[in-house]
Amino acid sequence: MLRYIARRLLGVIPVLFGLSIVLFAFVHLLPGDPAVALLGQHATPERTAAIRELLGLDKPLHEQYLLYLSDILRGDFGKSVIDNRLVVDEFLLRFPGTVELTVAALIFAVGIGIPLGRLAARHVQGWPDGAVTVVSLLGVSIPIFVLGLTLQVIFAVKLKWLPASGRIDPRLGIDAVTNFMLLDTLLAGKPAAFVDALKHLVLPAIALGSIPLAIVTRITRAAVLDVANEDYVRTARAKGLKERRVDDRHIMRNAWLPVTTVIGLQVGGLLAGAVITETVFAWNGVGAWVVDAIQNHDYLVVQNAILLFALIFIVVNLVVDIGYAYLNPRIRYS
């Protein structure tokens, strides 16, 4: 197993190398100019040229790429053109926010999706199955930003049950220690702030989790139906086992495998969906940061934040693969 993990980790290097080329090319092919973004309406051709020179943007592209690569290899991920903050510092500051949101969305998607999928499978072709199908369809077809703004209007603006944006009410004065807001509220010893942070998570988690919810529901339904037709399930029932026991021990244990794989894949989707969700909910995470950076043509932030994002996605995939082996004793990597 250790050798497998080591090999997978080594495999990350060429992937990141390739990605760095794609990212560099993509960012430099985008229309626009960080110098103009920095200067705004104060830009004149002369000042723009001076800043391009200062940033090294006047050099040939291949030279710029080699400089970029050597910086990364030295662990220097650069700084923002706009606010001068180091990319790594900013990433570490914002990543906990994205993790918190992603995990909450995953809990929402899995916690609701699996029971819904099981319900639909149990009543296949019945009205619960139809209702679940409609929910799934809505989940995958409503764009996140539409759903997000709609949820805000209904639950925050009209009903005032939940906050519309942010990670916590700033009036509560919670010090950022770990930048995991739930953890920071507990460290501050303020249960009311913990509840407030939880409330802030609800709407963005639902908006972000809507697509994975639909997918997890459909996959669970399909997996359960698939397994339910196996001989050993029929045998279990013939033995006189109670339906619940058949469900838990014989159907779900086997249906878990495809469901787990899909959940793992959803993590990548969630990280990407967080880009939109964070913007709509003014959520201080990596996604909102990268969107701002793209608009400002803050090229180093875009390149390196996405590179770090990708690295994490790769690690998550690896963890899922290892979890897969753990869940299915028949699978062993060598």
Partner 1 sequence: MVRTKVGSALAVLALVFAACTPGASPTPGSPGTSPGTSPTGGAPSPTSAVKEGGTLVVALPGDMTAADPSFVSDSNSSYIHLNVVEGLLGTKPGSISEIEPVLAAEMPTVSDDLLTYTFKLREGIKFHDGEPFNAEAVVYNYERQLNAPEPLRDNYNYYFGAVFGGFAEKSNLASVTAIDATTVEFKLKQPQSNFLISQAPLPQFGIQSPKALKAGDADNPDPAKSPYAQGKGTGLVGTGPFKFKEWVPNDHVTIVKNEDYWNAAAKAHLDEVIFKPYADQTAEFNALQSGDIDMAQTILPNDAQSLEGNAEFQVFDRGDSCNVAVLQMNHTHKPLDNKDVRFAIAHALNKQAYIDAFYAGQAVPADNWMPPATQYYKALNLPTYDEAKAKEYITKSGLSGADLTIEFWYPADVSRPYMPDPKALAEAIATDLEKVGFTINFKTAGWRTGYLRDEAVGKFPMWLLGWTCDWAGPDNFLSTAFFHGDGGKPNKEFAYGPPELLSAFDKGLAAPTEADVKAAWEEAQDILARDLPTVPLVHSRPPAAGKAFIKGFVGAGNLNEALNTVWLDK
Answer for which of 153, 195, 315, 331 binds partner 1 (CB under 8 A) is: 153
In whole angstroms, the minimum distance from the beta carbon of 55 to partner 1 comes to: 9
Q: Does 91 bind partner 1 (CB under 8 A)?
A: no
Indicate which single residue of 185, 220, 266, 296 sits in contact with partner 1 (rule: CB under 8 A). Answer: 296
Residues 6+ apart with CB under 8 A from 208: 101, 102, 105, 144, 270, 273, 274, 277
| Nearer to partner 1 among residue 291 and residue 318 (C-beta) | 291
Which residue from 10, 13, 31, 73 is in contact with partner 1, where contact means CB under 8 A? 31
Is 190 near partner 1 (CB under 8 A)?
no
List the beta bridge partners of residue 79. 86
Binding mask 240-269 for partner 1 (x = CB under 8 A): ----------------------------x-
Interhelix angle 191-228/127-141, rounded to 10 degrees, is 120
Q: Is 43 in the site for partner 1 (CB under 8 A)?
A: yes
Helix axes 2-29, 299-327, angle to 10 degrees: 150
Q: How far is CA 112 from the centre of its chain?
A: 18
120/123 Cα distance (integer angstroms): 5
From 287, 299, 304, 314, residue interacting with partner 1 (rule: CB under 8 A):
287
Which string of x and - marks every residue 53-82 that binds partner 1 (by CB under 8 A)? -x------------------------x--x
213: nearest Cα among 316, 104, 72? 104
Torsion of CA 121, 124, 127, 132, to 10 degrees: 40
Among 66, 282, 319, 331, binds partner 1 (CB under 8 A): 282
Question: How many residues lie near partner 1 (CB under 8 A)?
Answer: 73
Residue that the structure tokens 């897969």 belong to = 324
Side chain identity, residue 330? R
Query: If binding is defined by CB under 8 A, does position 116 make contact with partner 1?
Result: no
Q: Is 292 among the residues that bind partner 1 (CB under 8 A)? A: yes
Main-chain phi, psi angles of 177, to 5 degrees: -105, -60
Any contact of residue 325 with partner 1 (CB under 8 A)? no
Question: CB–CB of 274/101 below 8 Å?
Answer: yes
- Considering only 5, 12, 16, 50, the residue that binds partner 1 (CB under 8 A) is 50
Contact flag: residue 14 with partner 1 (CB under 8 A)? no
Cβ proximity to partner 1: between 258 and 268 the closer is 268
Stretch that binds partner 1, among 24-32, 114-122, 185-193, 241-249 (CB under 8 A): 24-32
Shortest approach of partner 1 to residue 35 CB, angstroms? 8
Phi, psi dihedral angles at 165 (to 5 degrees): -160, 170
Among 291, 316, 320, 322, binds partner 1 (CB under 8 A): 291
CB of 32 to partner 1, least distance (A): 3
**Helix spans in the chain (H):** 2-29, 34-39, 45-55, 61-73, 87-122, 127-141, 144-151, 181-187, 191-228, 231-238, 243-245, 253-280, 286-295, 299-327
CB of 19 to partner 1, least distance (A): 9
